[in-house]
Amino acid sequence: MPELPEVETIRRDLARVLPGLHVKRVVVRKPKLVQGSRANFTKAFKRARVVGVERRAKQLILLLSTGYAVLVHLKMTGQLVWKAKQGKLTVGGHPIAGVHDVPNKYTYVTAEFSNGSALYFNDVRQFGYWKAMPLAELEKHHAHLGPEPLTKDFTLAGLRAALVRRKRTSIKAALLDQTVVAGIGNIYADDSLFAARIKPAKKVSQLTQADVAILYSSIRKVLAKAVKARGTSFNSYRDGLGRKGTYWEQRLAYGRAGEPCPRCGTLFKKTVVAQRGTTYCPKCQK
């Protein structure tokens, strides 16, 4: 499900409630969703206190007082729900139709805290995972990821250099490639390309210098706007404060096939690019 703006929203919400909490125990109902060393997983949580909640690309990182980090990847349908002892939910991730409480049949990992609250990991399709590792290994684990697009690590020169390696593929495939830039998925790829007036199927080698420059600033603008909107949430998703991400209403192209382009009035078209459903304006995206 979630791309950078959604994961960042979840991170911010969890960062307000998790730090300082003491882990009482962690229950794993579906062992295959725990990746990596099971010994590390056990050691990570043993008498642990949560120190911080961070994010890299689309992964959340729980920093623990044991010197371990636990990565949580939500993939397509993962969801993290924090629930106070007798409290409301703080939800992050793909909403599940008709399921409004935790734990439920899709809850596969639960971290219980000594104050009676708990963090629940639900995942309908079971693609997501938790993975523990010593802090020292974090950097190595992320070595293959491109720059964070909302930081100064993401530069126009860097984007140009990254695209050199991807000349023969479509620009959409390149944006979805996490080694080029980290955190973009299907929604924000389509929206960034619409903002930059570039056709998703266009070969990277066909882009001009000016195209790449506009794309660069479009990516930053689109993602920043989405983070501000607390991301995109389908259906009836609400977070613990009763709010939902509002990017869906503001989205530019994604999911708008058949609707008129706000720039030229031509109807948005849907095709497949890089094996993913792709929406674009056939007139003003070249």
User: Beta-carbon neighbour count of residue 183 at 10 Å?
Assistant: 27
Spot the catalytic one: 30, 75, 203, 276: 276
Q: Does 73 bind DNA (CB under 7 A)?
A: yes
CB atoms within 10 A of CB 68: 23
Stretch that binds DNA, among 17-25, 47-55, 69-77, 191-199 (CB under 7 A): 69-77
**Out of 12, 49, 276, 283, the residue judged to bind DNA by CB under 7 A:** 276
Of 14, 80, 176, 229, the one binding DNA (CB under 7 A) is: 176
Query: Quick check: is 95 catalytic?
Result: no
State yes or no: residue 97 binds DNA (CB under 7 A).
yes
Q: Is 6 in the site for DNA (CB under 7 A)?
A: yes
Q: Does 10 bind DNA (CB under 7 A)?
A: no
Residues 6+ apart with CB under 8 A from 203: 167, 168, 169, 170, 171
| Set 11, 55, 58, 172: catalytic member | 58
Interaction of residue 233 with DNA, rule CB under 7 A: yes
- Asked if 274 interacts with DNA (CB under 7 A), we say yes
Distance CA 167, CA 180 (A): 12
Interaction of residue 110 with DNA, rule CB under 7 A: no
Question: How many residues are there in the chain?
Answer: 286
State which of residues 44, 53, 57, 227 lies at the interface with DNA (CB under 7 A): 57
Task: Tell whether residue 192 is a contact of DNA (CB under 7 A).
Answer: no
Cα 154 from Cα 216, distance rounded (Å)? 9
- The residue type of 94 is H
Q: Is 276 a catalytic residue?
A: yes
Comparison of 98 and 242: residue with beta carbon closer to DNA? 98
Q: Please, which contacts does 84-91 make with residues 24 or more away whose CB atoms are closer than 8 Å? A: 84/17, 84/116, 84/117, 85/115, 85/116, 85/117, 86/116, 87/117, 87/240, 88/240, 89/238, 89/239, 89/240, 90/13, 90/14, 90/17, 90/239, 90/240, 90/241, 91/237, 91/238, 91/239, 91/240
DSSP assignment letter at 31: G
Which residues does the annotation mark as catalytic?
2-3, 58, 276
Which residues are near DNA by CB under 7 A? 1-3, 6, 57-58, 73, 75-76, 93-95, 97-98, 124-127, 144, 165-170, 173, 176, 178, 185-187, 231-235, 272, 274-277
